[in-house]
Amino acid sequence: MIEVEDLRKEYDGLVAVDDVSFAAGPGEIFGLLGPNGAGKSTTIGCISGLLMPTAGRVRVQGHDVAREPRAAKSGMGIVPQEVALYEDLPAEENLRFWGEAYGLRGQPLAERVREVLEIVGLSDRAADLVETFSGGMKRRLNFGCGIVHRPQVLLLDEPTVGVDPQSRVRLLDLVREQATAGVCVLYTTHYMEEAEQLCDRLAILDHGRIIAAGTLEDLRGSMGERDLVRLSGAFDPEAIRESMRSLDEVEIVSSGAEQIALAVPGASRRLPEILSAVAAGGGVVRETTVTRPSLESLFIRLTGKELRE
């Protein structure tokens, strides 16, 4: 349904996306995970036809987005990062307009508008102006506008940003329902928990490049069975590096004057010897955190920084 090959996008010589390739099929939720500025929105922009790729090819439902834009776009739904709604119009008018934008009209449109209002839980507010809605309600309507024309491919660009926990759960349920109905979903986020809960397959982006890709199990496996140990305090990185040499299977992921990250199998059992090595290196530990293998620990291991940085 979505095929991205060797995608590259430059802005005035600045490379935003480089050599990105992936594919997602019907009923699959494919996640693009990465920090702000990693290139997720640019990738979605190229897939949706908003941006023209500098190089590479994007096909949606077999249609090249650059060469057959109308055919490629007709089965595509988009839920942008911002709440792209007409706040001075009622909810039903918004749904009606976006339905018409994709060719719906007449009775089928009216029925679909009612149905989507039901799906997103806004039937009782159908005639109210969007400007009177809460943030969560706006996000749900934003999602509704993306699915009003029953797309086969759904692009979701961080749809839960700034949403309260209750609305987030509701939105994630809506996304799952779409996938269950056979829709191919491309989901970008920088929330690891969301990606872990939702996505069947994932690609982790950093600085415009895919640094890891696969199922959640694949990615966890690439971490091995190693936990992530983060130490906060005061350190001499060189001295710590030297003192850690004596410890087996301990990998220094990142080291700084105030924080050190280590990948260690069975970290909770090996904490005493790790702390001894740090003390031997002249370090003072104020806080210790042990994390089980996760996307976050994978991201830190791959990039040396946290996802939300």
Partner 1 sequence: MRFILATARKDLLRIRRDWPALLLWMGIPLMVGGLLVVMFGGDATPTARLLVADRDGSLVARLLTGVFEQGPVGEIVEVEAVELEEGRRRIEDGDASGLLVIPERFGRAVLDGEPATLELVTNPSQSVLPGILEEMLDLALEASEVLRRLFDEPIDRILLDVDGEGSPADSTVASIATAFNRAGEGARGWLLPPAIELETVALAEGEEFDFGRAFFPGMLILALLFMATGLSTDLWSERRSGTLRRAVVAPRGAGTIVAGKWLAGSAALALVSAVGLAAGRWAFGIEIADPLLAFFWLALVGTGLLALFTLVQLLARSERGGNVLVNAVTLPLAMLGGSFFPFETMPSWMAQIGQTTPNGWALLRLRAIVDGAAEPGLLAVSAVAVLSVVIVLGWIVARRLGSWAA
Give the binding site for partner 1 (CB under 8 A). Answer: 45, 48-51, 69-70, 73-74, 76, 78, 80-89, 93, 97-98, 100-103, 105, 145
Q: Which two tokens stand for residue 8?
A: 């590259």
From 56, 53, 143, select the one nearest 94 (Cα to Cα). Answer: 143
- Tokens 């996306």, residue located: 17
β-strand 153-157 against 76-79: which pairing, if any?
A: parallel
Single-letter amino acid, residue 18: D
Question: 113: which DSSP letter?
Answer: H
- Tokens 């209002």, residue located: 117
Least spacing, CB of residue 105 vs partner 1, in Å: 6
Q: Which two tokens stand for residue 128?
A: 């109210």
Number of Cβ within 10 Å of residue 125's Cβ equals 18
What are the φ/ψ torsions at residue 262 (nearest 5 degrees)? -130, 145
Length of the chain (residues): 309
Least spacing, CB of residue 70 vs partner 1, in Å: 5
Least spacing, CB of residue 19 vs partner 1, in Å: 21
Residues 6+ apart with CB under 8 A from 237: 255, 256, 257, 260
Order across the sheet with 14-24: list the strands: 14-24, 2-11, 55-60, 63-64
User: Closer to partner 1 at the Cβ: 145 or 300?
Assistant: 145
Number of Cβ within 10 Å of residue 132's Cβ equals 11
User: Closer to partner 1 at the Cβ: 51 or 199?
Assistant: 51
User: Closer to partner 1 at the Cβ: 84 or 110?
Assistant: 84
User: Closer to partner 1 at the Cβ: 89 or 211?
Assistant: 89
User: Closer to partner 1 at the Cβ: 101 or 181?
Assistant: 101
Least spacing, CB of residue 96 vs partner 1, in Å: 8
Least spacing, CB of residue 73 vs partner 1, in Å: 4
Report long-range pairs for 99-107 (Cβ below 8 Å, ≥24 apart). 99/148, 99/149, 101/149, 102/74, 102/148, 102/149, 102/151, 103/74, 103/149, 104/148, 104/149
Least spacing, CB of residue 82 vs partner 1, in Å: 4
Least spacing, CB of residue 109 vs partner 1, in Å: 10
User: Closer to partner 1 at the Cβ: 99 or 136?
Assistant: 99
User: Closer to partner 1 at the Cβ: 97 or 191?
Assistant: 97
Least spacing, CB of residue 46 vs partner 1, in Å: 10
User: Closer to partner 1 at the Cβ: 77 or 293?
Assistant: 77
Q: Which two tokens stand for residue 279?
A: 């003390």
The beta-strand segments (E) located in the chain are 2-11, 14-24, 29-33, 55-60, 63-64, 76-79, 153-157, 184-189, 201-206, 209-215, 226-234, 251-255, 259-265, 284-291
